[in-house]
Structure 1
Amino acid sequence: MNVLIISTSDVNGGAAIAAFRLMKALHARGVGVKMLVRDKRSDSELVTRSGCKLMNDFRFYRERGEIFLHNCLSRNYLFDISIASTGVSVVTLPQFTQADIIHLHWINQAMLSTCEIGKIIASGKKVVWTMHDMWPVTGICHHAGTCTRFHHSCGDCPYLKRPSKNDLSRKIYKEKRAAYSLDRISFVACSRWLEEQAKRSSLTTDHNLVSIPNPIDTDQYSPGDKMVAKRNLGLPTDKKIVLFAAVKASDKRKGVDYLIEAARLLKDKGVLFLIAGSNGGEIAEQLPGVCLDAGFISPDRMPEYYNAADVFVTPSLQENLPNTLMEAMACGTPCVGFNTGGIPEMIDHHRSGYVAKYKDAGDLANGLHWTLFEADQQLLSENAREKVLSEYAEEKVVNRYLRVYAE
């Protein structure tokens, strides 16, 4: 069995990291697997960049430009939607022709056009598509929020400056429906929440749909001595540490405003907030009390940061199945997050952490306080680690994908 994974990137972003981890796990099981990307950043010989960088960059800016113009020169929602108007050609590549199964992941921002997706589906190859957000089952948006128009045909899109019944969202929805009709697709949702959303879309009608979580290496991400980790990182051992990590820490969709308010409510508790990710300084300046900006941390160093933390917080407003949450839990670090997306599937409330009311900074602060000062942290740690071992460990996830491939 030869599998070709197609992704916009190999290690840049949560969806890319999840796809890359799956590729490595499949390779370790003896599966003939390769990865095709637009943006290659790893040194893996299994990964090939499709197209030259200059043209790939041109396609990326061309598509963003189309969205910018369509929305009347507004930057609002510039990266909340994708239109798949351009991309690289893959169906004639040797990696494609040699593959038995084509496994799509996150393929936006000029990796694949809707036209190319149609060619892939019509090729006769078996197609599996892991959904890391809602885009495969909506017209143009990555997260529909409270909008339900994607159930039928989109239109009147709240992400567009001039929404109408036959706007761009409905046009792309129709293009997707035509492409998907060319053969059967096995859609995989990374969370049960996303599976339920996908079931409501008419785009998944007549296609297979299952839920399989992202995998994680539980040897790389494993519990360590907390005091040793704190000392190695130069962190105080006499303070409770709250870790917040994101690729772009200042992204409003990561709920930083709620984190800042929750920190204000905890400012007299002697808590240290540790920020990991780009632009973390923007948050650190606004957080009351003691705060440290660690900047961007490479993946191989993140386990030590998770182990140094007493709790990991993810106040995200839009999430599917966040890798950071899984990584923290694998290290035995209790977690606190909002009740949205796949987060409540991962955090077992009052068992491995705390699930706070959505967009409620006060309850987020309550969750942090409970986890740090009231709960049995050792028990929370053990439960978090056990949850990952039982549901997200690489071997368990790979076995489920192998069944999808075989079917």
Structure 2
Amino acid sequence: MKVLIVNTSERTGGAAVAAKRLLEALNGNGVKAKMLVGTKESDHISVAQIPHQKRLHWNFLWERLCIWVRLRFQRRHLFEVDMANAGCDITKLPEFREADIIHLHWINQGTLSLNGIRRILESGKPVVWTMHDIWPATAICHLTLGCERFKTACQYCRLLPGGGSANDLSSLIWRRKQHMLEGQHISFVACSQWLAGEARQSALLKGQTVSAIPNPISTYIYRLGDKTVARQRLSLPIDDRIILFVSQRATNPNKGMQYLTEACQLLAKRYPDMVEHTAVAILGGHAEDVVAQLPFRSYPLGYISNEQRIVSVYQAADVFVLPSLSENLPNTIMEAMACGLPSVGFRIGGIPEEIDHQQNGYVADYCSGEDLANGIRWALSEADPTAVSKACLDKVTRCYSHQRVARQYIQVYENAMRPTTAKQ
């Protein structure tokens, strides 16, 4: 079985990380998998780059321009919307021709257009599409944030000026997606049970198959380590209790730094002794922009691309906090747990599927800085660190190992190929 994984980038973003890990998991479990990307960032032999890079760049710019016009020349929401009106035709590439299964992941920002996906479907090759967010089941948005129009038909979009209209951009793209899927079948896979449940309610995906398979993680890379050694490597305080926050961009409002700030301020007020013995490590771009808000000593680590160094960050911490306002199945919680680190996050999306409350972490009430503080306090001062660490490792082994996830995807591939085989 030959599988072609298609993603916009090789390494940048959570979907890229998950797709690359799946590539490794499949190749380690008897499947010949390759990855086709718009942006290649390594010399990995199993990763190919879509040719005509200038075309990809112009696709991206053209789509942004079209969206900018629809937004009445405002930058707000410019990168929260994708319409897939420009992209590359990959059906003529050798990587496509030799594949038995085409496995789409995050293919936005000029990589594939809706017409390009239609050509893939019309090729007759079985298509699997892993949903890293809700975009495949909506018209233009990646996060619904309470909007339920996708359950009937997208229009009056909240992201468009004036709340959109009956025939706005979302309505137009909804019809184009309907045409793309007309008479075709895609095996959709959501990374969490929560997202699968949302996708099954989409009127756009009526009649399509939607299953749920988590992302895999390598327990050879993400693993327990010596906390003191990790802290020395990162120049972090040896004896403090360290709270870790991770985001590609620390100032992204959706990642909830404001709630971590509120929780830390509450803890500092209730437990003054914590001020002297607690620190916050912030991994991600613009980390230095948020440290002044925190009552504890803070260490902006900046953006780190070296995976071994990222592992050291998890190994150095005592609790990982992810107060996101919207999440699918965050890779970061999985990474933390694989390093034996308990996580605290809100009851949203797939987070409660990863965190077993007060066993391997703490699930806080949504948007509650108060309960987030309770979770941090539980992890640092009330939980048995040995038992919690073991629970983290057990969950990763049971649910997210390469072998387990690869087996589940192989079953999806085999099911997707059956109708094709029968026709032949």
User: What TM-score does the superposition give when structure 1 sets the normalisation length?
Assistant: 0.98
- Corresponding residue of 2:298: 291
Would you tell me which structure has more helix in proportion to its own residues?
A: 2
State the AA in 2 paired with 1:273.
V
Runs ≥4 residues deviating over 4 A: none
Q: Displacement of 1:234 after TM fit?
A: 2.2
Q: Give the distance between the partners of 1:128 and 1:398, measured in 2 at CA.
A: 14
- Corresponding residue of 1:406: 414
State the AA in 2 paired with 1:131.
M
- Corresponding residue of 2:280: 273
Q: Give the distance between the partners of 1:261 and 1:69, measured in 2 at CA.
A: 38
- Corresponding residue of 1:312: 320
1:52-108: per-residue Cα shift (whole Å, max 9, x none)? 332222211221121111111111111111100101111111111111100000011
SS at match of 1:102: strand
Note if 1:354 corresponds to 2:351. no
Q: Displacement of 1:305 after TM fit?
A: 1.1
- Corresponding residue of 2:18: 18
- Corresponding residue of 1:156: 156
SS at match of 1:5: strand
Note if 1:371 corresponds to 2:379. yes
Note if 1:324 corresponds to 2:332. yes
Which moved further from structure 2: 356-365 or 128-137? Answer: 356-365
Q: Displacement of 1:228 after TM fit?
A: 2.6
SS at match of 2:308: coil
- Corresponding residue of 1:394: 402
* Gapped regions of structure 1 (runs ≥ 5): none
- Corresponding residue of 1:90: 90
Q: Displacement of 1:288 after TM fit?
A: 2.3
Which of 308, 318, 328 does residue 300 from structure 1 map onto? 308
* Backbone CA RMSD of aligned residues: 1.2
Note if 1:244 corresponds to 2:237. no
Q: Displacement of 1:304 after TM fit?
A: 1.2
Q: Displacement of 1:247 after TM fit?
A: 1.4
Q: Give the distance between the partners of 2:57 and 2:289, measured in 1 at CA.
A: 28
**What are the within-5 Å matches in structure 2 for residues 5-404 of structure 1?**
5-162=5-162, 163-267=164-268, 268=272, 269=274, 270-297=277-304, 298-404=306-412
* Gapped regions of structure 2 (runs ≥ 5): 416-424
Q: Displacement of 1:114 after TM fit?
A: 0.6
SS at match of 1:266: helix
Q: Displacement of 1:28 after TM fit?
A: 2.0
Tell me how many residue pairs correspond in the alignment: 407
Q: Give the distance between the partners of 2:383 and 2:133, measured in 1 at CA.
A: 33
Q: Give the distance between the partners of 2:75 and 2:101, measured in 1 at CA.
A: 38
**8 Å CA contact 2:104, 2:128 repeated in 1:** yes
State the AA in 2 paired with 1:26.
L
Q: Give the distance between the partners of 1:135 and 1:6, measured in 2 at CA.
A: 16
Q: Displacement of 1:167 after TM fit?
A: 1.1
**8 Å CA contact 1:121, 1:182 repeated in 2:** no
